[in-house]
Structure 1
Amino acid sequence: AAYAVPDVVTARPAIEISKLYVLPGHHGAGVSAALMDAIVERAAERRRAGLWLGVNQENTRARRFYQKHGFEVVGTRTFVVGSQTHDDFLMQRVL
């Protein structure tokens, strides 16, 4: 079942990570980890209780990265872009 974000993201106030992309030639070089560290630092400075994001259910590499950085799956969401339906896991990290 798909959930509304407020129903499953319990850390409030929270910051959404909308996009976090690193060019393929830089995968594994620590760039993603540095970006995530900076995001967490900014969120803590702003006294946020957590972070949340949506990640494609089929993107195993991204899901593993987020789990390594303290995120856990708290629900799912389905959305339509044009004629395509997309399924995301909703993930949350409590700070």
Structure 2
Amino acid sequence: MGDVEIFRAELTAASGSSGQAASELLNQSAALQTEDVGIQNPASRPMLRLEMHRRVSALRRSALARTEEGSGLAAATQRIADRFQDLDVELSGQESS
């Protein structure tokens, strides 16, 4: 196994790990999709419920943004790994299988 293949395998593994982490974050953030933040409207605490709703909404937006960033990173890493095959062909003059 040449150096190019080793680097390509590492990049492919990193891409898979990034994609898996992004997918896991998306699955975990599904619990944040509810409107119910677990706090009723007690007579003297409507602001508490509103503040919890605001913070859970911000957490949800942040998780979704990180999911998109992680997916983008996984895709970019995979594109780089795919280009390593072109480099291998260029350096060796023959395609590897």
TM-score, length-scaled by structure 2: 0.27
Q: Tell me which structure has the larger Cα radius of gyration.
A: 2
Where relative contact order (Cα < 8 A, 6+ residues apart) is larger, the structure is 2
**Counting helix residues as a fraction of each chain, which structure ranks higher?**
2
Taking structure 1 as the reference length, the TM-score comes to 0.27
